[in-house]
Structure 1
Amino acid sequence: MNQPTTKENADMSAQLDKAQKSIDRLFATRNDRWYPQCHIASKAGWINDPNGLSYYKGRYHAYFQLNPYGSEWGNMHWGHVSSADLVTWRREPLAMAPTLEVEKDGVFSGSAVVGDDGRLTIYYTGHRWRNGVDDDDGNLQEQCMAVSSDGIHFEKKGVVIPCPDDKILHFRDPKVWKMGGLWYMVFGVSTPAQRGEIWMYTSNDMEHWTFDRVIYRHPDPEVFMLECPDMFPLEDKWVICYSAMGLKPHGFEARNHNNAGYVIGSWQPGGDFHQETGFHLWDDGHNFYAPQTFQAPDGRRLVFGWMSPFTEPIPMQEDGWCGQFTVPREVTLAGDHLRCLPVREFSDLDQDRQDFGPIELEVNSSRDLVDDAQTADINMEIDLNKSQAERIGLEIHRTQSGDHTLVCYDDQLGRVVLDRHCNTYGDRGYRTAPVDKSSGKLKLRIIVDRGSVEVVVNDGLEIMSSYSFPAEGPRGIRLIAESGEGKALISSLSIAKLGTIWEEPDR
């Protein structure tokens, strides 16, 4: 295979300026009906994977895959926002545009670390179409490097790991960390036999990398690629996570177009990874993909996911933007799976919290709680032992037309349900999450934005992220109880508005 040239075929500053002007044009006509107030999104254009999550020079940095030229996937650049506190975010200049021959069809996903020289170092995938047009014949991809002294302006260093085999059609998404004086990199590969694997490389100097081993191979031969892999320690365990392409749905599991999850096990540098759990989804909702974790200065493991709008129709594409992140989450170990909770700082956005509970609700009845909620942070606890209703929950984004998204406990399923069948806009259908009923209580935290709902189940033992595109008019919140032999008992229920995350709101 011919090695790609690293020479520049375009000026970076000129390309970034061109991209920013396009973002500004799209923004001028952006429709804000579903544009998020408390989730990271681009000012305009399409975004996907979180990239380069890091803490550098007193600020958290979140980069992301960005198409500045439209609200559909393509023309991959890197966008950038930063924050001093994980609550209030600042829009930064676009970070990277395709300027090298190796990346002429896109600067793809990657990660960031503070290097041995104190600079922020990004590892990312340079991407070219094999046929020069699209992915019908696969990709030509290499792992690349860029450095920055301020986290804003980057100097590209070119390819550090070329693809070793011309028959490899997917070779991307490097994640890097340091242990014991040695640097480690993992990334996803589709082998010539089209098996999804994660490869590990090591380096002493961050620039010269040596193949170490295949650290993980998916057991299902139908899974042909493991995108956006991550590998990180929690307590005395190691977690390998990936976004599986080709995974087939089974039961309640893996119902989305592609599905992001993890396995937990043990690993020592220089050795193999020993898997100790089965595959577990990061998120049980309709729209979650390509998560990336990083370590905060206080030692917390944090994660952002992309709320991926894979399923047609995608109504926000008509509005000049498409895609957002989840709320940042803290990740901790909970036995054989992970607990994910919104970062504690997120509560600083709460405003005007109203207390509604406790409530006894007759079966087949409802109670309107809020007439119009653009955003909401809802805390709710249901007494499962004393409730006989078959479904107990909240209708979110309820409009006069009857449109709404239902978040409820379903006693027949024994699961939390997020149901969009009453939505006029976007994909419908439902998703479910399992419930540990041993305490007799069910705790739900529901974060509502203009076009999305995130449901945290039992303090983060499960979590669900879904788009919800409300119809025109006020967006109410209604408490409901359906069917069964008796009342619903809600032990506590409170609702707060949420402020904006943006340091300088767009308008």
Structure 2
Amino acid sequence: MMNDKDLRQQAYQAVEKSLKTAQQDPYRQGFHMTPPVGLLNDPNGWIQWQGKYHMYFQWMPFHTGHGAKLWGHYSSDNLVDWKLEPIALTPSDWFDKNGCYSGSSIDHDNKLKVFYTGNVRNDKGDRETYQCLAESDNGIDFIKKGVQVELPEGYTAHFRDPKVWNHDGKWYMVIGAQTLEKEGTVAFFESDNLEEWTHKGELAGPVDGLGYMWECPDAFQLDGKDVLIFSPQGVKAQGIDFNNQYQTGYVIGKIDYENGKMEHGGFTELDRGFEFYAPQSMVDEKGRRLLVGWMGVPDQGEEHHPTIKHHWIHNLTLPRELRLEQGNLYQLPVEEMKQLREEKLFEQAVGSEISHDIARTSELIIETEGSLDHLELKLFDFLTMSYSKEEGYLTLERPNLASEETERRSCRLIEGVKHVQVFIDRSSVEIFINKGKEVFTTRMFADPEKRLLKVKQKGKEQLKLTAWKLKDNCIQQDISNWYNK
């Protein structure tokens, strides 16, 4: 096991060695949080604290595979421009020596406190898991406080990703878990002081057909309803539903805090695209519930990403505001995303078909007063979004990253297409349908030289298409203050 100082120095050297190569990649993102080098996955400790937004993240700086993760760190004043901060946590203690896994942040006693999972492999290679605490006075430098929760009876060591919040003066924690019967569930804990935790049982699960492990649970109240977001593994595809390797979705209901149970409805996928997993939400100082997800899925073709040869892989989504409408979670790009707009490229009506060259960092908005009978949007001769009112489905198509055969993701959209907002970065697309009722998040590795956008529509309604060029230098990755700062 390497000590904290040596791990930080080695990470610094890994970034220093490969950062220029990573930044020269034509697929390098312009306004999405990416790892400086190496692999990024789950967002962690997402919080606005003392006026500043902090996004910590799972990070492997030494290569583009998984392993004993660190906590990387970005900060922002405006949700648009992000600054890479020094490493927050390293796997340098007995209780986290094989990885500082995912967790959450709270503000308590003027300190930023992060609860995270310490991953350990014993001498036999068996997994051990510990829920740990670290504290900071400035959001950057952390002191570990050690193990707070050990594995209770009734679960395998797949027990991780604590999310902590306060309700009516008490502290609560949910943890993604697997029962001894190999079923996914969410464990529920209560504390009066953030030090002594009582296991109250399962907040939700197991549920027949809903997988063998539930990762990254996130429980919160929104517009008077309780919401539980989680990422189940082992759910079988059902028609157009659950087509990714692993899923992310939510249930809505009511938490009985006294008895530690949640009555809830059915599980609904949160995002319908090819790459979305392990999201985390928080409430900012404006009272908004903001969510960010990982633009990736575990075990789903990572080895075929073309960015690997440039020594990096994956990124996070844009921040999204969650709203509860008609019994469903809606996701909207936060208002601050308008600050990305550098230049309006065009605004015009579309009769039946138009073609335009656009920037590789762009925003598109399609609006209509009614609903369209048929819509097709083709981007860079690579990605196609199509809707047929007769069929009632909206579908996204792209070449498979391994086989190049066409693959699809779809959602039901009986009410038709009324509004589409698209954020295009150099290797990703986020599509918000009907003001966030459905969202498609997807990596897009089109030929970097391609610029062509094609839009077709049929029907009596008038369609307006607006396009902006977006800023492409929002992620500042200066590491000069990292070591011996």
Equivalent residue in structure 1 for 2:179, among 179, 191, 207: 191
Pick from 233, 257, 263: which aligns with 2:251? Answer: 263
Match for residue 37 of structure 1?
30
Q: C-alpha deviations, 1:236-257, integer Å up to 9, x for none?
A: 1100111001111101111001
The corresponding residue for 1:430 is 408
Deviates more, 1:230-239 or 1:31-40: 31-40
Query: Could you tell me the TM-score, scaled by structure 2's length?
Result: 0.92
* Residue type at the aligned position of 2:395: V
Q: Which residue of 1 aligns with 2:82?
A: 89
| Structure 2 counterparts to residues 60-209 of structure 1, below 5 A | 60-115=53-108, 117-129=109-121, 139-165=127-153, 168-209=156-197
1:337 — aligned with what?
328
Classify 1:166/1:266 alpha carbon distance in 2 versus 1 (closer, same or farther; 3 Å): closer
Structure-1 separation of matches of 2:440 and 2:426: 16
Q: For 1:256-275, what per-residue CA distance to the aligned partner results, in whole angstroms no more than 9, with x for missing partners?
A: 01000000001242134443
**After superposition, where does 1:171-320 map in structure 2 within 5 Å?**
171-220=159-208, 223-309=211-297, 310-312=299-301, 313-320=304-311
Code of the aligned partner of 1:448:
I
Separation in 1, partners of 2:412, 2:59: 34
What does residue 356 of structure 2 align with? 369
- 8 Å Cα contact 1:67-1:75 kept in structure 2: yes
Judged with a 3 Å threshold, the aligned counterparts in structure 2 of structure 1 residues 336 and 276 are, in CA distance, closer, same or farther, namely farther
Asked if 2 retains the 8 angstrom alpha-carbon contact of 1:174 and 1:186, the reply is yes
Structure-2 change in CA distance of 1:317 and 1:490 (3 Å): farther
Quick one: distance in 2 between partners of 1:290 and 1:239?
A: 15
> Within the alignment, does 1:494 sit opposite 2:456 as a pair?
no
Displacement, 1:409? 1.6
Shift of 1:479: 1.8
Aligned partner (choices 466, 469, 472) of residue 445 of structure 2: 469
Unaligned runs of 5+ in 1: 1-8
Code of the aligned partner of 1:305: G
Question: Could you say which residue in structure 2 is the equivalent of 1:3?
Answer: none
Structure 2 contact 32–475 (Cα < 8 Å) conserved: no
Query: CA-atom RMSD, angstroms?
Result: 2.3
Contact 1:380–1:490 (CA under 8 A) maintained in structure 2: no
> Take 1:264 and 1:175, find their aligned partners in 2: how far apart are those partners?
17
Decide whether aligned partners of structure 1 residues 286 and 19 sit closer, same or farther in structure 2, where only a CA change above 3 A counts.
same
Aligned mates of 1:480, 1:43 — CA distance in 2: 38
Provide the secondary structure at the position in 2 that maps to 1:325.
Answer: coil
CA distance 1:249–1:130, change in 2 (3 Å): farther
The number of residues matched between the two structures is 475
Residue type of the alignment partner of 1:261: G
Tell me how far apart the structure 2 counterparts of residues 64 and 277 of structure 1 sit (CA, whole Å): 31
> For residues 129 and 100 of structure 2, what CA distance do their matches in structure 1 show?
10
Q: Which residues of structure 2 form unaligned runs of 5+?
A: 480-485
Specify whether residues 497 and 422 from structure 1 end up closer, same or farther in structure 2 by C-alpha distance, changes over 3 A only.
Answer: farther
**Residues 366-411 of structure 1, C-alpha deviations (whole Å, 9 max, x = no match):** 53212x42111100025665x65xx522211x1xxxx411122233
